[in-house]
């Protein structure tokens, strides 16, 4: 590489003229050898072969993206949100594009927990990938029933959604009131035999208040952030784009909020964190890990690039190499705040 | 099975202020992966747009060294505007083949009904269907009935009827009136294949139902992933279930669709 570059006088003059160092003049190859980097992480006792998870609601139950790559490439799959009974979800349009983001209002369309166990889980379990079931209930009791059935069916972890912005009953109400969040967490914990991770809503004044309540109630891990409530209006028709008027904002636009909230929560409680919100590169993921996340989830980035989770994984490995880390889990909590 | 394919723009032709004819060199999407007209490609439209844009395929051809695929699209927003600014030699990040096709396995006579930018996805059915067919093509006004498209139907269909909303070309009125006249005279169509805006599909489905002629409709909906994972492009069915335009469609049996949802 160096010799080839040295025969490109324009490149050298251009870089030198910009006052760049010799390192930038002769950049490292784009794909450094990362084979010696230990990518494995631990999430509340569940060993993941790498820290990249796919976020609930963006990956279905793995069938579709499984056409593009082997699911065993991923650290874990957070399945599409389940409810006790099947749900048809909200009317369309369910999606709108915003500056560096999207709004969605799918409304937890899903085959129900029994449909998942019968028709989706067996396929997932044939892949060498950890399965995290995501659940939403209308009552604390429903969370308990689902935790029992899913634990018995052999999922690796349960993500308790107390923060869906797109359903009226339960959903976000549980995620915005500490005592309700704690009640749901206790119910889930008392019925689950696998680790319970509670997914927090960013649509609160102080996310650490909810995080503490959930931690005190016995949660094994936290995941954050869910989407932020947002809205987009078509000026000519004066109609909101989404049929439900408002929806949940995700995508790169929310990354700084996710980083901030992961940092705040990591400072407030000792639980492992699955960080998510706008991750589309290894550097985005590294920010969340430095802020305190043990693993990261990729969601909206999939819609632009089905291979985004694998690129995030490889990007994290490359960052580890650049920083002389033998393992990516050394990034977790490594922030040097001012 | 869909793949991610880098396509090269082979040609760009502007048909009017908002309508473009784009031909892509598309690897082996047609010859090896079975892409055909009426399916769609999910196209990344620059770094500024997070969501890909689903664009219907108008014409496909096996070619060397790469297959050729024609897309005919209208500029509707930022994504399609970006797409319209591509130049020959530019590359596109494309997912495909995506979506199902009209079912034309039954021998018989077919009635193709297209409206506006819903006409191009019917071109291959007009040109290549192995059964006799009639076309009814509707446009807002005569200047939107591009001869480079309508002639392809006129050259290969038994009859081609043009309709315009303003009466500036062909029959004055909507396509469903023309479809009604045809079915009153001749009920023996095997199926109607319809593509166009939802109100048009709804009215064509109603006429088809009145005359008990099977009708397949190609539906549009705002999409996310394009492959069936995100469940965004929901199309409600009469039985209360939701299907999805990207994976179960875009073609649905008109009898299954809940037109009043």
pLDDT digits (tens, 9 = 90+) for A107-140: 999 999 999 999 999 999 999 999 999 999 988 9
pTM of the model: 0.90
How far apart (Å, rounded) are the C-alpha atoms in residues B259 and A281? Answer: 42
Question: Three-class SS of residue A93?
Answer: coil
Across B7-25, average pLDDT: 96
Are the C-beta atoms of residues B42 and B229 closer than 8 Å to each other?
no
| Domain ranges (residues) in chain A | 37-331
**Chain B contact for A300, CB < 8 A?**
yes
Contact A166, A108 (CB under 8 A): yes
Average pLDDT over residues B221-234: 95
* Catalytic one of A78, A79, A147, A164: A164
Residue boundaries of the structural domains of chain B: 3-98, 110-253
| Rama region for B212: left / alpha / beta (φ>0; ψ in -120 to 50; rest) | left
Q: Is A92 on the interface with B (CB under 8 A)?
A: yes
Enumerate the residues of chain A whose CB falls inside 8 A of the CB of residue B241.
88
A70–B contact, CB cutoff 8 A: no
CA-based nearest distance B195→chain A, Å? 19
State percent of chain A over pLDDT 70: 88
Residue A119: phi and psi, rounded to 5, are -115, -20
The nearest alpha carbon in chain B to A280 belongs to B50
Query: Is 90 exceeded by the pLDDT of residue A22?
Result: no
In terms of DSSP bridges, do strands B215-218 and B191-195 run parallel, antiparallel, or are they unpaired?
parallel
- For CA atoms A250, A254, A257, A259, the dihedral sign is positive
Residue A14: pLDDT over 50: no
Give how far A242 is from chain B: nearest CA, Å: 10
Residues of chain A contacting B3 with CB distance shorter than 8 Å: 68
Provide the shortest C-alpha distance from residue A68 to chain B (in Å).
7
Segment B8-36 mean pLDDT: 96
The better pLDDT of the pair A264, B186 is held by A264
- Which residue of chain B has the CA closest to A91? B234
- Rounded to the nearest integer, the mean pLDDT of chain A is 90
* pLDDT of B217 strictly over 80: yes
Q: What is the mean pLDDT of residues B216-221?
A: 94
pLDDT of residue A9: 33
For residue A264, the model assigns a pLDDT of: 98
Handedness of CA A19, A22, A25, A28 (dihedral sign): negative
Per DSSP, which regions of B86-151 are E strands?
A: 91-98, 110-115, 133-139
Alpha helices, H only, B70-170: 78-84, 123-128, 147-156
pLDDT of residue A148 exceeding 70: yes
The DSSP-derived string for A47-87 is: EESSSEEEPTTSSTTSTTGGGTS-GGGSSEEEPPPB-SS-B
Determine the average pLDDT of the residues in B43-60.
94
Kind of pairing between the strands at B171-172 and B53-61: unpaired
Contacts of A97 in chain B (CB under 8 A): 49-51, 79
pLDDT of residue A331: 98
**Beta-carbon separation of B229 and A60 below 8 A:** yes
pLDDT computed for residue A216 by the predictor: 98
Residue A253 CB partners (closer than 8 Å, separation 6+): A98, A99, A100, A101, A278
ipTM, two decimals, is: 0.91
| CB atoms closer than 10 angstroms to residue A73 | 17
> Residue A167: what pLDDT?
59
Chain A residues with beta carbon closer than 8 angstroms to that of B51: 95, 97, 102, 303-304
CA–CA gap between residue A274 and residue A56 (Å, rounded): 12
Domain A37-331 of CATH type 3.10.580.10: no
Q: Is the pLDDT of residue A106 over 60?
A: yes
* Residue A306 contacts B, CB cutoff 8 Å: yes
Q: Do B232 and A104 touch (CB under 8 A)?
A: yes
In CATH terms, B110-253 corresponds, of 1.10.260.40, 3.40.50.300, 3.40.710.10, 3.40.50.80, to 3.40.50.80
pLDDT tens digits, B84-131: 999 999 999 999 999 999 999 999 999 999 999 999 999 999 999 999
pLDDT above 90 coverage of chain A, percent:
84
Contact B240 A88 (CB under 8 A): yes
Partner residues linked to B93 by β-bridges: B6
Q: How far is A246 from chain B (nearest CA, A)?
A: 15
> Could you tell me which of A1, A68, A69 has the C-alpha nearest to residue A31?
A1
How sure is the predictor about A171, in pLDDT bands with cuts at 50, 70 and 90?
Answer: low
Q: What confidence tens digit (pLDDT) does each residue in A50-78 have?
A: 999 999 999 999 999 999 999 999 999 99
Decide if pLDDT at B24 tops 90. Answer: yes
**Whole-number mean pLDDT of chain B?**
95
| A20 in active site | no
Mean pLDDT computed over A202-223:
97
Q: What is the CATH number of domain B3-98?
A: 2.40.30.10
């Amino acid at each position: 590489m160096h010799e080839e570059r040295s025969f490109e006088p324009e490149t050298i003059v251009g870089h030198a003229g910009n006052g760049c160092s010799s390192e930038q003049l002769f950049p490292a190859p784009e794909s450094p050898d990362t084979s010696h980097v230990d990518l494995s992480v631990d999430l509340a006792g569940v060993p993941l072969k790498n820290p990249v998870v796919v976020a609930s609601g963006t990956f279905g139950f793995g069938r579709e993206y499984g056409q593009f790559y082997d699911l065993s490439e991923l650290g874990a799959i957070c399945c599409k949100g389940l409810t006790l009974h099947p749900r048809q979800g909200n009317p369309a349009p369910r999606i709108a594009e915003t500056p560096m983001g999207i709004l969605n209002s799918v409304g937890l369309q899903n085959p129900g927990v029994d449909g998942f166990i019968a028709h989706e889980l067996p396929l997932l379990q044939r892949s060498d990938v950890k399965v995290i079931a995501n659940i939403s209930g209308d009552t604390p009791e429903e969370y308990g029933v689902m935790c029992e059935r899913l634990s018995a069916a052999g999922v690796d972890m349960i993500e308790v959604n107390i923060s869906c912005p797109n359903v009226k009953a339960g959903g976000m109400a549980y995620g915005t009131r500490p005592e309700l969040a704690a009640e749901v967490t206790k119910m889930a914990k008392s019925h689950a035999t696998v680790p319970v991770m509670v997914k927090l809503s960013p649509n609160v004044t102080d996310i650490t208040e909810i995080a503490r309540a959930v931690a005190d109630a016995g949660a094994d891990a936290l995941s954050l952030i869910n989407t932020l409530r947002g809205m987009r209006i078509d000026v000519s028709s004066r109609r909101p784009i989404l049929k439900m008027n408002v929806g949940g904002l995700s995508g790169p636009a929310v990354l700084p909020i996710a980083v901030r909230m992961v940092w705040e929560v990591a400072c407030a409680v000792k639980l492992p964190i699955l960080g998510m919100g706008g991750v589309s590169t290894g550097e985005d993921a590294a920010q969340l890990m430095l802020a305190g996340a043990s693993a990261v989830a990729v969601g909206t980035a999939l819609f632009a690039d089905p291979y985004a989770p694998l690129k995030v994984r490889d990007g994290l490995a490359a960052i580890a190499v650049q920083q002389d880390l033998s393992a990516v889990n050394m990034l977790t909590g490594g922030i040097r705040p001012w | 099975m869909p793949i991610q394919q880098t396509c090269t723009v082979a040609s760009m032709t502007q048909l009017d202020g908002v309508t473009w004819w784009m031909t892509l060199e598309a690897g082996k999407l047609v010859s090896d992966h079975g892409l055909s007209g009426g399916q769609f490609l999910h196209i990344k439209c620059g770094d500024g747009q997070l969501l890909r844009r689903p664009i219907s395929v108008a014409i496909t051809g096996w070619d060397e060294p790469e297959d050729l695929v024609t897309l005919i699209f209208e500029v509707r927003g930022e994504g399609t505007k970006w797409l319209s600014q591509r130049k020959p030699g530019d590359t596109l990040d494309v997912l495909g083949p995506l979506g199902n096709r009209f079912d034309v396995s039954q021998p018989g006579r077919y009635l193709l009904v297209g409206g506006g930018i819903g006409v191009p996805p019917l071109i291959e059915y007009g040109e290549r269907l192995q059964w006799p067919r009639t076309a009814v093509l509707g446009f807002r006004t005569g200047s939107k009935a591009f001869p480079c498209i309508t002639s392809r139907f006129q050259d290969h269909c038994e009859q081609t009827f043009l309709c315009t909303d303003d009466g500036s070309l062909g029959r004055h009125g909507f396509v469903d009136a023309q479809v009604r006249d045809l079915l009153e005279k001749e009920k023996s169509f095997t199926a109607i294949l319809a593509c166009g805006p939802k109100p048009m599909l709804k009215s064509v489905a109603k006429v088809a139902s009145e005359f008990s002629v099977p009708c397949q409709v190609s539906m549009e909906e705002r999409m996310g992933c394009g492959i069936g994972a995100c469940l965004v492009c929901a199309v409600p069915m009469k039985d209360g279930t939701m299907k999805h335009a990207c994976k179960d469609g875009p073609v649905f049996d008109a009898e299954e669709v809940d037109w009043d949802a």
